[in-house]
Amino acid sequence: MTDPLFQFQTVMRDFLVARDRGFMAADMGLGKTRVAIEAAGVRGFKRKLVVAPAIGLVSWPGELSKWSDEACLAVSDPALLPDSTSESLWAIAPFSEVQRNPRAWVEAAHRFRADLTVIDEAHYAKEQSSARAQALYGWRMDLKNSICLPEQSIWPMSGTPAPNYTSELWTHLHALAPVSITSPRTRQPMSYQEFLERFAVTRTSSYGQHVTGSRNTEQLRLATNSFFHRIRKTEARPDMPPILWTAEPIPAGNVPELNVPEGISDENLVAYLDTAFPSGSSERKAVGLAKVPGVVEWARAFLAGSDRKLIIFAWHRDVVRQITRALGPEFGAVSIDGDTSLALRNAAVSSFQLPAGPRVFVGQMLACGTMLTLTAASDVAFAEDDWTPGTMEQAAARADRLGQLRGVRAVILHAPTKKDKRIARVRVDKANGLELMFGQDKIKEEQWKAFRRSPEK
């Protein structure tokens, strides 16, 4: 006999059961996958298609084995998606392959003719110009010639529906809830440009129009209340505290990959990093590499001073691998980055979750910042910051899920470089701007002050 749903999960399930189009915008770790499985069972759907990040090819079959007796097929090749059949089946497809070959996946979905399509981590489809969004919703976000069929039920799910700004909701609203964004001028669903004019702050540069903020957020929230079901962990589990976000300074150190000229002292290294690398990705990677020695030193001190496990997230693959190599011999660190196979990903998570397993898990944010359960640890460290608050929330929530018995602490390790400070400031502003729409936990100003304590070079 399966465990009964929590009361808040019953409310989530009933929301989906009552709707052919509904966005499950519940916090990470509240069991959205199980709720979708239960809701599909209540509705009696036979053919179910799930589009998810690559790790979903591991996590969805695992969840289905616990909560359903139905067959499950994880497919990376659209040719393997079966034709329409009366048999009950869950088919899981990865976003990465949908983006690589969207036309083939659209054709395969039309053959399969699912009764239900679940879009897991639906924020992956936030850009209307992306191949994945157009494959899911059609070129004009109207469900024509798309994976999602107009006659089927469609349930997007994400703990961070708008990772940066409310403008990222347009793709889902135009495709699935167009009535909620009807233009008072044309009486038609708002175009993307109309949506920006009403609900976004923008600026124009020589590169085009850029979204820099959100506005009229309360109006948008009220208009879309029936489409989004938002529940925070603090509402669902008032017995568990929210994630405690803190920031701690670490020194920048020299590593061979930086090719720093001889003779530069530690005191001058930060100034060198701020001037030697051009603005953009190369500057960000250089700062990430320079933080590795400080991150490793911080992690060793943490692990030596307690018997707890530790999760470390970074943005760059090279940073993940250097931290893993440094902590591996002493603490048996396991890691996942974008090149890790599905089998090895599953093995890394399973071993870390064991009480006697490795004490350190090192992950690349985009490769394993969603869908995984890492509740063996309640301490999360970020070796690198990210511009997007949703990315950070999703990653920290790997520890803050059902089954976690302790309060989760997330610490952002920062170096006194201009790049780290710039990223932190932008992320804080974005998180505060989303507060009215979905009640994102505000990043307290005290956290930003921690980044300002070191004077800029």
* Residue whose pair of structure tokens reads 């707890």 in the numeric block: 308
Residue 179 CA to residue 112 CA, distance in Å, equals 29
Question: Residues of CATH 3.40.50.300 domain(s) within the chain?
Answer: 244-452
Q: CA separation (Å) from 344 to 175, 329, 417, 428?
A: 37, 19, 35, 34
User: How many angstroms from the chain centroid is the CA of residue 407?
Assistant: 20
Residue 91 CA to residue 100 CA, distance in Å, equals 18
Output the six-digit token pair for 402: 């059902």
Q: Given this model, what pLDDT does residue 163 score?
A: 85
Q: CA separation (Å) from 87 to 6, 35, 45?
A: 30, 22, 10
* Number of Cβ within a 10 Å radius of residue 97: 19
Residue 319 CA to residue 313 CA, distance in Å, equals 9
Residue 327 contacts residue 360 (beta carbons within 8 Å): yes
Question: Residues of CATH 3.40.50.10810 domain(s) within the chain?
Answer: 7-232
Residue 339 is given by DSSP the state: T
User: Vertex 150, ends 110 and 191: CA angle to 5°?
Assistant: 120
Q: Given this model, what pLDDT does residue 448 score?
A: 39
Residue 180 contacts residue 170 (beta carbons within 8 Å): no
* Residue whose pair of structure tokens reads 């030193």 in the numeric block: 297
Residue 423 contacts residue 385 (beta carbons within 8 Å): yes
What predicted TM-score, i.e. pTM, was given to this entire model? 0.79
Kindly give the confidence (pLDDT) of every residue in the chain, 457 residues in length, as a single tens digit, with 9 standing for 90 and above.
Answer: 467 888 999 999 999 999 999 999 988 888 899 999 999 999 999 999 999 988 888 889 988 988 999 999 999 999 999 988 768 999 999 999 999 999 999 999 999 999 999 999 999 999 999 999 999 999 999 999 999 999 999 999 998 898 888 999 999 999 999 999 998 888 899 999 999 999 999 998 877 888 988 989 889 999 999 999 998 887 888 877 788 888 888 888 888 777 777 767 767 787 777 777 777 778 888 888 989 999 999 999 999 888 899 999 999 999 999 999 999 999 999 999 989 888 888 899 999 999 999 999 999 998 887 878 899 999 999 999 888 888 888 899 898 887 787 888 999 998 877 778 888 787 877 777 666 666 544 444 444 344 344 333 3
User: How many angstroms from the chain centroid is the CA of residue 381?
Assistant: 16
Pairing assessment for the beta strands 208-214 and 200-205 based on DSSP bridges: antiparallel
Q: What are the residues whose beta carbons fall under 8 Å from the beta carbon of 235, sequence distance 6 or more?
A: 8
Residue 343 contacts residue 410 (beta carbons within 8 Å): no
CATH fold of 7-232 = Rossmann fold (3.40.50)
Provide the CB-side half-sphere exposure for 390 (13 A, CA).
24
Residue 422 contacts residue 273 (beta carbons within 8 Å): no
Output the six-digit token pair for 62: 């695992």
Q: Given this model, what pLDDT does residue 435 score?
A: 67
* Number of Cβ within a 10 Å radius of residue 449: 10
Q: What is the CATH number that goes with domain 244-452?
A: 3.40.50.300
Output the six-digit token pair for 284: 């960000």
How is 379-441 classified by DSSP, letter by letter? Answer: EEEESS--S-HHHHHHHHTTTSSTT--S--EEEEEE-SSHHHHHHHHHHHHHHHHTHHHH-PP
411, containing H or E segment: strand 409-414
| Polymer length in residues for the chain | 457
